[in-house]
Structure 1
Amino acid sequence: MSSRTKNGTRPAPEPTNNVLTLDGATQRARIDPTLTVEDVVKQLCSNLKIPDSPSNYALRDHTGELVTNENLRRKIQHKVDLKLVHAPAREARDIAAELQHKDDRDLRLMVFSLQKYMKEEQFVSEFLNHNGLSELINVIDTASGNTLAYALTSLQNLMELDYGWSTLDDKFILRVVKILSSPQQPINVCRPATAILKKLVEADPASTPGVVAGSSRQQNPLPGSVFIYGFGVVFEQMRKEKSFLETVVNRLGSAETAMAQHSMMLINSLLAHASDERWDEFIGELERYNVRRAVVRLMSLHELEDLTSCILDFQANIVRVTHRKKTTPVDPEMDPSHEKSLQVIWSASKLRPEIDENNQMLKWRKLGFETEDIPYEFRDVGVLGLECLRRFIESDPDFSMLIIEQLSRPVEKRWQIARASNEVVELLSEHWAIFAPGYSTSTTFQPFFLDFQRVHSQATRFFLRMWAESGAATEDFTRVAALVRSQVKVALRSENVRQWHEVEADFNCEYQKVRDRQMEELELEDDLLSKVPVRNLRAKLYKESYEFVRQQRIQCLIQGAWFVNAIPSSTPRELIRRPARPWRFMRLDNGLKYLHYVDSAVKFPVRSGLEDLPDRIDVSMISEVATGTCCAPPGVVRDTDVLSTSQPSPLSFSLLSAHEGSMADQIAPDQSRWADWTDGLNMLRRDGGHVASKETAGFVHALTEIGLKIKLLDLSGEMVEIPNSLPAGPPPPSTDYYFSDI
Structure 2
Amino acid sequence: MSNHNSLPPRSPLSTTPPNNGSQAKSGLVPTNNVTTSDGLTVRARIDPTLTVADVVKQLCVNLKIKGSPSDFALRDENHELVTNDNLRKKIKAKLNLKLVNAPHKEGREIAEKLQVRDQKTMRLTLHSLQKYIRENEFAQEFINYDGVTQLVDIIFTSQGNTLAYALAAMQNLMELDYGWAFLDDAFIFRVVQVLSSPSSLINVCRPATAILKKLVEADPANAPGPQAGSSKSGPAIVPGSVYRYGFTAVFEQMRKEKSLLETVVSRLGSADTAMAQYSMMLINSLVSHASDLRWEEFIAEMERLNIRKAVVRLMSQHTMEDLTSCILDFQANMLRVTYRKKTTPIDLEAQPSHAADLKSIWAHSRLMEEVDEKGQQLKWRKLGFDTEDIEIEFNDVGVLGLECLKRFVERDPDFSKVILEQLSRPAERRCPIAKASNEVVELLSEHWAIFAPGYSTSTTFQPFFLEFYKVHALATEFLSTNVERQRGCVWRFYSSSRSVALRSENVRAWHEVEHDLLECEYRAVRDRQMKELELEDDLLSKVPVRNLRAKIYKESFEFVRQQRIQCLLQGAWFVIALPSNSPLPRDSTRRPNKPWRFVRLDNGLKYLHYVDSAVKFPVRSGLEDLPDRIEIAAISEIATGTCAPPPNVLRDHNDLPPTSPLAPSPLSFSLLGVHEQGSLADLIAPDPSRWADWTDGLNMLRRDGGHVASKETAGFVQALTEIGLKIKLLDLSGERVEIPSGLTAGPPPSNLDFFFSDLM
Instruction: Sort the TM-score into its range (normalised by shorter chain).
Output: over 0.9
Q: For residue 603 of structure 1, what is the aligned residue in structure 2?
A: 616
Q: For residue 505 of structure 2, what is the aligned residue in structure 1?
A: 495
Q: For residue 518 of structure 1, what is the aligned residue in structure 2?
A: 529
CA offsets per residue over residues 156-207 of structure 1, 9 Å max, x none? 1111000001111111111111121122333322221111111001001000
Query: Conserved in 1, the CA contact under 8 Å of 2:227 and 2:236?
Result: no
CA offsets per residue over residues 212-250 of structure 1, 9 Å max, x none? 599249532221100011111111111111111111111
Alpha-carbon distance in structure 2 between the residues aligned to 1:322 and 1:406: 30
Q: For residue 582 of structure 1, what is the aligned residue in structure 2?
A: 595
Q: Does 1:678 align with 2:695?
A: yes
Q: For residue 460 of structure 1, what is the aligned residue in structure 2?
A: 476
Alpha-carbon distance in structure 1 between the residues aligned to 2:660 and 2:689: 19
1:28 positional shift: 3.1
Mark the CA change 1:337 to 1:228 in structure 2 (over 3 Å): closer, same or farther. same
1:541 positional shift: 0.4
Q: Does 1:400 align with 2:410?
A: no
1:737 positional shift: 4.5
Of 205-214 and 361-370, deviating more is 205-214
1:511 positional shift: 2.5
Alpha-carbon distance in structure 2 between the residues aligned to 1:323 and 1:124: 43
Map 1:115-514 to 2 at 5 A: 115-211=130-226, 215-216=230-231, 219-470=235-486, 472=487, 476=488, 479-508=489-518, 509-514=520-525
Query: Conserved in 2, the CA contact under 8 Å of 1:206 and 1:213?
Result: no
Consecutive unaligned residues of structure 1, counting only runs of 5 or more, are 6-10
Aligned partner of 1:65: which letter?
A: E
Q: For residue 17 of structure 2, what is the aligned residue in structure 1?
A: none
Alpha-carbon distance in structure 2 between the residues aligned to 1:670 and 1:644: 17
Q: For residue 636 of structure 2, what is the aligned residue in structure 1?
A: 623
CA offsets per residue over residues 107-129 of structure 1, 9 Å max, x none? 11111111111121111000000
Map 1:683-722 to 2 at 5 A: 683-722=700-739
SS of 2:670's equivalent in the other structure is strand
SS of 2:636's equivalent in the other structure is strand
SS of 1:655's equivalent in the other structure is strand
**TM-score, normalised by the number of residues in structure 1:** 0.95
Q: Does 1:556 align with 2:567?
A: yes
CA offsets per residue over residues 651-686 of structure 1, 9 Å max, x none? 111111124221111111111111100000000001
Aligned partner of 1:725: which letter?
A: G
SS of 1:523's equivalent in the other structure is helix
Query: Conserved in 2, the CA contact under 8 Å of 1:201 and 1:273?
Result: yes
Alpha-carbon distance in structure 1 between the residues aligned to 2:32 and 2:323: 42
Q: For residue 728 of structure 1, what is the aligned residue in structure 2?
A: 745
Mark the CA change 1:565 to 1:488 in structure 2 (over 3 Å): closer, same or farther. same
Alpha-carbon distance in structure 1 between the residues aligned to 2:44 and 2:584: 35
CA offsets per residue over residues 129-152 of structure 1, 9 Å max, x none? 011011111222222222222211
Alpha-carbon distance in structure 2 between the residues aligned to 1:124 and 1:654: 29
Alpha-carbon distance in structure 2 between the residues aligned to 1:740 and 1:376: 30
Alpha-carbon distance in structure 2 between the residues aligned to 1:348 and 1:603: 71
SS of 2:604's equivalent in the other structure is coil
Query: Conserved in 2, the CA contact under 8 Å of 1:205 and 1:228?
Result: yes
SS of 1:644's equivalent in the other structure is coil
1:572 positional shift: 3.2
SS of 1:219's equivalent in the other structure is coil
Query: Conserved in 1, the CA contact under 8 Å of 2:219 and 2:243?
Result: yes
1:689 positional shift: 2.4
- Quick one: which of 538, 544, 566 aligns to 2:549? 538
1:386 positional shift: 0.4
CA offsets per residue over residues 597-618 of structure 1, 9 Å max, x none? 0111111111111111000011
Alpha-carbon distance in structure 2 between the residues aligned to 1:17 and 1:396: 75
1:405 positional shift: 2.6
Alpha-carbon distance in structure 1 between the residues aligned to 2:242 and 2:422: 62
Query: Conserved in 2, the CA contact under 8 Å of 1:62 and 1:83?
Result: yes
Alpha-carbon distance in structure 1 between the residues aligned to 2:425 and 2:93: 87
- Quick one: which of 640, 645, 652 aligns to 1:632? 645
* Percent identity (aligned): 69
Query: Conserved in 1, the CA contact under 8 Å of 2:455 and 2:706?
Result: no
Aligned partner of 2:322: which letter?
A: D
SS of 2:669's equivalent in the other structure is strand
Alpha-carbon distance in structure 2 between the residues aligned to 1:507 and 1:700: 30
Mark the CA change 1:500 to 1:160 in structure 2 (over 3 Å): closer, same or farther. same
Alpha-carbon distance in structure 1 between the residues aligned to 2:229 and 2:99: 50
Pairwise CA RMSD of aligned residues? 2.1
